[in-house]
Structure 1
């Protein structure tokens, strides 16, 4: 009988949307009854359930257990995001780095790691990640700010030059427009 219930639980937990509706106690049972090679998955599922209930410390504990059993990219990514949202920047950096190592195209991880480096005053590393994001997404406002402020922190004598490079510039009128303005002046009322 336990085997049937356990099999049904594993089947339900294999679907992400259904896993969110399963109570935490079911995840605990699954962790206790699962084989060692699957325990990390159930720890990660239970961490998501804890997050849904806003139980941050329990979620972090389960993600740490999942990483200790089998360090997966998704577990590192989730734990890094939680640390980042909790403003525990120093703790988020190793997890974000592990996630980037396995998935180097995830710009969001680079952005978060850049912000974490910036918050911990590791300006050179923050600048490197910000440059990477800006090379792919040049309009990223967060990374533009980090780029500007990190460069300023590393080279304080260049502050005016750096800040002026982000100020929009105006162009002089073309000769044709200038001539048209002279022929048809705008009357002030």
Structure 2
């Protein structure tokens, strides 16, 4: 990876969602949960489908529905968008990991959720600068994701977030293409 990222971290949101943290601590109090030692760089996935739910947060029906939405969006706009959940960052930085995934995948946008840490990041390729603001990202994460996730409605939250993301990005073609 180049020392200077060509991706924009629109927003890295640390939303310590009680439901996510509680699920990962398995009933232990926050003070008794051991913090993992910083690990080697989290490995990249072998493939980059539109939806990679490695943390098993969504139903298979929702995964298929979102995959279809993102495939349709790619055909209409030429923009590749990916949603990924991971169980844990294992000491890695969410922005650095998201940057590596986005670079390796060739996609234009990545919405990533680290379940154990309760972190959410939205990473956009620099080609999308100006299409999605910090305010758009905050709204997407707080209104679409966090509100639903705190109520245990993971499927509804991710579906709402993807709809907001692709609607806000629009379908105008990029001047640069991947």
More strand by share: 2
Report the TM-score, using the length of structure 2 for normalisation.
0.25
Q: Give the structure, 1 or 2, with the largest relative contact order (CA under 8 Å, sep 6 or more).
A: 2
Structure exhibiting the larger radius of gyration computed from Cα positions: 1
